[in-house]
Amino acid sequence: MLTRKHLIAVAGVEFDRNGYEGTSFTRLSRSAGVSVGALTFHFSSKAELAFAVEESGRAATRAVVERVMVGGGPALDTLAALVVALGSLIETDPAVRATARLTQERAGAGAGPEWYGCWLPAAGVLLDRARSEGRLRPDADPRPAVLLLAHLVGGTVARVRHGRIRRPGAAVGELRELWRVICRGIASPAEGCGPCRDAPTGNENA
């Protein structure tokens, strides 16, 4: 039975791969194995379907952030867990990658909040908390570190999309190593960085 959930999953793959302009209803119906009429029965326009994909991607991302943030522990350790969780989500959920792409391509054209807004503020909060905990170098500014994380995670989205990361778990492995490099540059020598632990379980994408 054709469901909205199935169509959103198919559309996530297509929007991730081809972007908004490169994805037509004809392509979507072919990928879903249904007629254009059956597709428009559930979604009256491509914009409506794109928004549904974005909502799916944002919801998945917010769920991961919430699970990581309630885990407790030192802020830098929690941030490490968030980086790992995002890597796993990016690698396994095309709707999340599509959301990262669509909310940039469709900015100001009916798209919802940018995907980065689902997790980047939490990263900033954790870095500010790490500074208050005394775990950052005195001269370390959290703001550039947040910007670097945005580029790091955004680059992972692009690398997975373009097939630069193929082996399962490789995106998480890369992010672990890159986070360690960042952490060595901002963490207090006396405190150091804790292990880049996994996010709390409870979602197959986390």
CB 50 within 8 A of CB 115: no
Q: SS3 of 134, please? A: coil
**Rounded mean pLDDT of 106-115?**
69
Query: Cβ atoms within 10 A of the Cβ of 102, count?
Result: 28
Whether residue 145 is contained in a domain is answered as yes
What was the pLDDT predicted at 199?
Answer: 42
Provide the pLDDT confidence category of residue 165 given band limits of 50, 70 and 90: confident
Name which of 87-91, 109-113, 138-142 the model is least confident about: 109-113
CB 60 within 8 A of CB 138: no
- 204/94 Cα distance (integer angstroms): 14
Give me the CATH number covering residue 112. 1.10.357.10
Whether residue 181 is contained in a domain is answered as yes
Name which of 49-58, 93-102, 105-114, 181-190 the model is least confident about: 105-114
Tell me the pLDDT tens digit for each residue of 44-96: 999 999 999 999 999 999 999 999 999 878 999 999 999 999 999 999 999 99
Name which of 24-38, 83-97, 177-191, 192-206 the model is least confident about: 192-206
Whether residue 15 is contained in a domain is answered as no
CA distances from residue 46 to 3, 50, 95 in whole angstroms, order as listed: 16, 6, 15
Whether residue 66 is contained in a domain is answered as yes
CB 137 within 8 A of CB 157: no
> Count of domains in the chain?
1
% of the chain beyond a pLDDT of 70:
89
Whether residue 159 is contained in a domain is answered as yes
Domain range spanning residue 126? 54-186
Whether residue 89 is contained in a domain is answered as yes
CB 111 within 8 A of CB 46: no
Taking 80 as the threshold, does the pLDDT of residue 120 lie above it?
yes
Provide the pLDDT confidence category of residue 106 given band limits of 50, 70 and 90: confident
In residues, how long is the chain? Answer: 206
Whether residue 204 is contained in a domain is answered as no
- 75/139 Cα distance (integer angstroms): 18
- 155/15 Cα distance (integer angstroms): 17
What was the pLDDT predicted at 203?
Answer: 39
Whether residue 86 is contained in a domain is answered as yes
% of the chain beyond a pLDDT of 90:
60
Tell me the pLDDT tens digit for each residue of 168-181: 888 899 899 998 88
